[in-house]
Amino acid sequence: MSTSDKTVLSVVIPVHNEADNIQPLYMVLDPVLKHVSKNAYEIIFVDDGSHDSTARVIADLHGMNGRVKLLSLSKNFGKEIALAAGIAAASGEAIILMDGDGQHPVDRIPDLVSAWKQGWQVVVGVRTHNRNEGLVKKYGSKLFYALFNRLSGQRMVPGSSDFRLIDRAVQQEFIKLNEPQSITRGLIDWLGFKRAYVTYAAHPRMHGPASYTFRNLSKLAAHSFVSLSPAPLYAFGYLGLAITGVSFVLGLAVLIEQIILNDPLSWDFTGTAMLSILVLFLVGLTLVSQGVLALYISYIHTQSKGRPLYVVNHRESRGL
């Protein structure tokens, strides 16, 4: 392969029912890519089971410009999997991920690329504000980042989005991870590598409603917690410990005061009250045993993800 047809820059765009947005996006994206990559680019649209004419619009673009490519999935797998498919298919030295609805600003691409040229291997677009976002989505995403950072032990910068660039080295490691129901940016962050941030203001969607509903987003958030952290499992164990501890102390006090010392403080505990303490104690024990189960499950959970123990960035010595 001569250097001229080598792809330097791949842009991966997952699309689901975005027929009206593809052409306008292409019109602004193509000149920018031509410019920054000296014509060595590819645009991979991953059609994620669209019901409208999305695939046809892309195929028409491909007819006009061979650098536009279409990867059509057999059904709607969801954006995260569509992104993973596109990342695996990309052949560039650097791969940019962006949405197909015009929300990710094309004019920030040169900044992503120049950070990459300075040696950053992951360049994350950080959304500063989104004027057209509902309150639920806005505060929902704030809550998500706060919880995520607490529970996962990973640091995700609030507002960091899928609009990002990854180096080929990161791509190669990413495709080795084979985790369904995971959030792409969380996995990329887990991989490490040298990371830089570029801020951007998200545009409103060009046409049509967002495919992601509140229900979808909540499901995604729940899945990414499950895939990154066993912490929710432990929470019930701790609750159980607290309940058992309190009811044990209460029970002991009642036993001594009421039965052994014959009620010198006149607590006058009824049988029902004593029974409640016993029930509380047993409930606590059940929760503790769930916590113990959680320890084992989290062990299996970590194993089952089959993540590599470590990720090598580069090697200086041949044969290592």
Q: What are phi and psi of 314, to 5 degrees?
A: -150, 165
Q: Counting contacts by CB under 5 A, is residue 48 touching Mg ion?
A: no
CB of 205 to Mg ion, least distance (A): 5
The shares of helix, strand and coil residues in the chain, as percent rounded to the nearest 5, are 50, 15, 35
Question: What are residue 14's phi and psi, to 5 degrees?
Answer: -75, 135
- Least CB distance to Mg ion at residue 289 (A): 44
Q: How many CB atoms sit inside 10 A of residue 58's CB?
A: 29
- Which CB atom, from 145 or from 212, has the smaller least distance to ligand UDP? 212
290 touching ligand UDP, by CB under 6 A:
no
String of contacts with ligand UDP for each residue 7-46, x by CB under 6 A: -------xxx-x----------------------------
Q: Please, which residues have CB within 8 angstroms of residue 64's CB and are 6 or more apart in sequence?
A: none
Residues 254-293 interacting with Mg ion (rule: CB under 5 A): none
CB closer to ligand UDP out of 197 and 212: 212
Q: Write the single-letter amino acid at 298.
A: S
**How far apart are alpha carbons 297 and 71 in whole angstroms?**
37
Pick what 179 binds: Mg ion, ligand UDP, none; C-beta below 5 to 8 Å, kind-dependent.
none
> Using CB under 5 A as the criterion, what x/- string covers residues 76-105 for binding Mg ion?
-----------------------x-x-x--
Among 7, 53, 72, 76, binds ligand UDP (CB under 6 A): 76
> Taking the complex as a whole, how short is the minimal distance between the CB of residue 104 and Mg ion, in angstroms?
8
Give the count of alpha carbons within 13 A of 130, CB side only.
Answer: 23
CA dist., res. 46 & res. 289, Å (int): 46
Residue 17 as a binder of Mg ion (CB under 5 A): the answer is no
In the complex with Mg ion, which residue's Cβ is closer, 103 or 184? 103
Binder among 29, 58, 96, 99 for ligand UDP (CB under 6 A): 99
Instruction: Return the one option of Mg ion, ligand UDP, none that residue 108 interacts with (CB less than 5 to 8 A, by type).
Output: none
User: Strand (E) positions, 87-136?
Assistant: 94-97, 122-127
Contact 122, 91 (CB under 8 A): no
Closest CA to 92 of 112, 106, 77: 112
Question: Which is nearest to 127 in space by CA: 107, 157, 97, 99?
Answer: 157
Nearer CB in complex with ligand UDP: 76/181: 76
Number of H helices, E strands in the chain: 10, 7
Enumerate residues 156-215 that contact ligand UDP by CB under 6 A.
205, 210-212
Instruction: Tell me: does residue 86 bind ligand UDP (CB under 6 A).
Output: no
The sign of the dihedral angle between the CA atoms of 229, 232, 234, 238 is: positive
Binding site for ligand UDP (CB under 6 A): 14-16, 18, 48, 76, 78-79, 82, 99-101, 103, 205, 210-212
Binding site for Mg ion (CB under 5 A): 99, 101, 103
